[in-house]
């Protein structure tokens, strides 16, 4: 993502295939490292979907062909829309212009979630855990409020 003023919008993707869940290792501003699904700031004038596709391509070298909104939550003042993608393909090497991505891995889902839980801020790991729990229970959509998880509909 290009350097610019902090965005109040971000997008991420859950990239799931037969090999598991794709996650990226981030280097934070103080040198800390943590694992998350790929994603980042949505640029001014860019849709959440376009920002998600761009961030995934930059961070992983994967191009998403089809995705659906999985959940929405907030990290502080930032609205984050996370998408579920099953249709994606490698189109080249990662090309992270911000230089914050240290590694990219595809791990079995439970192993990836354990790594995210152990390293990422709770504002990132908790909504992810809630979504996977809802999927296991058969809920199709939910939204994560700052302090609670609320299941919405069973359409």
Write down all domains in the chain, each with its CATH number in brackets.
9-121 (3.90.79.10)
pTM: 0.83
> Mind listing the pLDDT tens digit for each residue in 42-61?
999 999 999 999 999 999 99
Give me the percent of the chain exceeding a pLDDT of 90. 76
**Residue 47 and residue 34: Cα distance in Å, rounded?**
26
**Residue 115 and residue 97: Cα distance in Å, rounded?**
24
């Amino acid at each position: 993502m290009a350097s610019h003023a902090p965005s109040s919008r971000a997008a991420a993707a859950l990239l799931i295939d037969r090999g598991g869940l794709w996650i990226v290792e981030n280097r934070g501003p103080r040198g800390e490292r943590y694992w998350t699904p790929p994603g980042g700031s949505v640029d001014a004038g860019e849709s959440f979907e376009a920002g998600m596709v761009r961030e995934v391509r930059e961070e992983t070298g994967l191009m998403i062909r089809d995705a659906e909104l999985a959940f929405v939550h907030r990290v502080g003042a930032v609205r984050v829309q996370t998408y579920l993608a099953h249709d994606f393909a490698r189109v080249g090497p990662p090309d992270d212009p911000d230089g914050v991505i240290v590694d990219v891995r595809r791990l079995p889902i439970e192993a990836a979630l354990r790594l995210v839980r152990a390293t990422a801020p709770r504002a990132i790991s908790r909504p992810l855990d809630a979504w996977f729990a809802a999927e296991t229970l058969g809920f199709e959509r939910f939204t994560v409020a700052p302090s609670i998880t609320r299941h919405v509909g069973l359409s």
